[in-house]
Amino acid sequence: MAEIVLDNVTKRYPDGALAVDKFSMDIADGEFVILVGPSGCGKSTTLNMIAGLEDITEGELRIAGRVVNNKSPKDRDIAMVFQSYALYPHMTVRQNMGFALKLAKTPQATIDEKVNEAARILDLTQHLDRRPANLSGGQRQRVAMGRAIVRDPAVFLMDEPLSNLDAKLRVQTRTEVSRLQRRLGTTMVYVTHDQTEAMTLGDRLAVMRTGLLQQIGSPHELYESPLNLFVAGFIGSPAMNFMAGTLAEGSLQTAIGNLPLTPALRQALERANVGRQVIVGIRPENFEDASLVKPELRGHGVTFHATIEVVESMGSDVFVYFTQESGLSAGVDQLADLAEDSGKADTGASDETVTARLDAATQIREGENAELWADVRTMHVFDPKSGQNLSLETETGTPAAAAT
């Protein structure tokens, strides 16, 4: 059991490329922390540095109070699950799981006991004498987990351990991982690019982009109070809608109408002194079919008309898509990153498509010019230059769990 401290950990390759820039984070003993971000953001490099598989260029890494920058992986008391599982194909499941203990010259009786125990937990007992090649994907994944468990390490490191499973199994195994971590109580650092996985699994999430830590916080904090455009757009599915806004006479002019500003928000924006142009972010669930909004709520938002292009009924909810002149200028790099990560850049989907999640009772049809309502109490306002979330300061107290 151990806490991990990353103190300005930096990875710079000899060609000058900066993979991870001054990453600082304290991970408490027994905590389940997720490193999440689009590919190339430096999350795997960070994990490899914790594991000792890559050198740390600058900064300090402490595990259980000990500086381990120059320790080899075997001296760090860690176990790791790899994306490809990295099961030794020439060993049986039993030998795979016992390999680390054998290298550590653990007595055979102890090895057997620990392997059997891990196999029991993971429901692998009947497969112990088979080779990895003869196992299904899910079983292999469990063997990889088992190999980590038997070590009884201070820290578990997981590098996208579920990404090779099909969608259904991934959801199941996700729950298993979560249950296992609670049961063992071991500190766990888990890397994924999948924000849903990150939200459902972690105690705390560290969102990364281009080698920089963006924000650390609980899933709830990241969702409710994203520090910047990138986090706001990355966390949450479907993603937050962004549109340009112009500050004018106590309200925000946007493509969906004039959004009223609460006094607190107005003050915050004035304090920030960012000029008149801002970016407004509204989550899909903050829209509603105007006809279904209770009269007493209507005043908290604005109603507007939009021609609905696509309606997707999910049973519990209905998603509708419409196009609005978003007015966002290109060149906001955080938005560009988000578009790339979501695949929007590849599919050619427009930035101007707005997604709204409506109550299942809605009668809106495709092609209809429907009346929609947007809740402005939960909207976010961002500085287009820095991407900073300007609306956070309206909340009572300090911005929650700001990254240092």
State the Cα–Cα distance between residues 329 and 331, nearest whole angstrom: 6
Q: Which two tokens stand for residue 28?
A: 């408490």
55 lines the binding site for other proteins (CB under 8 A):
yes
Select 87 or 252, whichever has its Cβ closest to other proteins. 87
Q: Least separation, in Å, of the C-beta of 403 and other proteins?
A: 24
Partners of 252 in beta bridges? 247, 259
Segment (H or E) for 253: strand 251-254
* Binding segment toward other proteins, per CB under 8 A, in 7-15, 205-213, 275-283, 383-391: 7-15
State the Cα–Cα distance between residues 219 and 224, nearest whole angstrom: 9
Segment (H or E) for 147: helix 137-149
78 lines the binding site for other proteins (CB under 8 A):
yes
Vertex 218 angle, CA 216 and 222, to 5°: 70
Determine which residue in the list 6, 80, 278, 293 makes contact with other proteins, applying CB under 8 A: 80
319 lines the binding site for other proteins (CB under 8 A):
no
User: Which residue in 215, 198, 100, 205 sits closest to 149, CA to CA?
Assistant: 100
Determine which residue in the list 64, 100, 400, 401 makes contact with other proteins, applying CB under 8 A: 100
Site mask for other proteins (CB under 8 A), range 138-167, x = bound: ---------x---x-----x----------
State the Cα–Cα distance between residues 185 and 149, nearest whole angstrom: 11
Q: How far is CA 57 from the centre of its chain?
A: 26
37 lines the binding site for other proteins (CB under 8 A):
no
Determine which residue in the list 65, 89, 107, 348 makes contact with other proteins, applying CB under 8 A: 89
Read off φ and ψ for residue 63, nearest 5 degrees: -120, 125
* Binding segment toward other proteins, per CB under 8 A, in 51-59, 249-257, 316-324, 373-381: 51-59
Read off φ and ψ for residue 272, nearest 5 degrees: -70, -25
State the Cα–Cα distance between residues 209 and 37, nearest whole angstrom: 6
66 lines the binding site for other proteins (CB under 8 A):
no
133 lines the binding site for other proteins (CB under 8 A):
no
Rounded to 10°, the helix 108-122/137-149 angle is: 140
14 lines the binding site for other proteins (CB under 8 A):
yes
Determine which residue in the list 28, 66, 84, 108 makes contact with other proteins, applying CB under 8 A: 84
99 lines the binding site for other proteins (CB under 8 A):
yes
Select 83 or 139, whichever has its Cβ closest to other proteins. 83
Q: What is the DSSP letter of 29?
A: T
* Binding segment toward other proteins, per CB under 8 A, in 70-78, 243-251, 290-298, 390-398: 70-78
Read off φ and ψ for residue 188, nearest 5 degrees: -135, 130
Select 52 or 284, whichever has its Cβ closest to other proteins. 52
Q: Least separation, in Å, of the C-beta of 22 and other proteins?
A: 14
Select 118 or 243, whichever has its Cβ closest to other proteins. 118
73 lines the binding site for other proteins (CB under 8 A):
yes
User: Which residue in 165, 114, 126, 119 sits closest to 143, CA to CA?
Assistant: 119
Residues at the site binding other proteins, with contacts judged by CB under 8 A: 12-15, 17, 51-58, 69-74, 78-80, 82-84, 86-90, 99-100, 103-104, 147, 151, 157
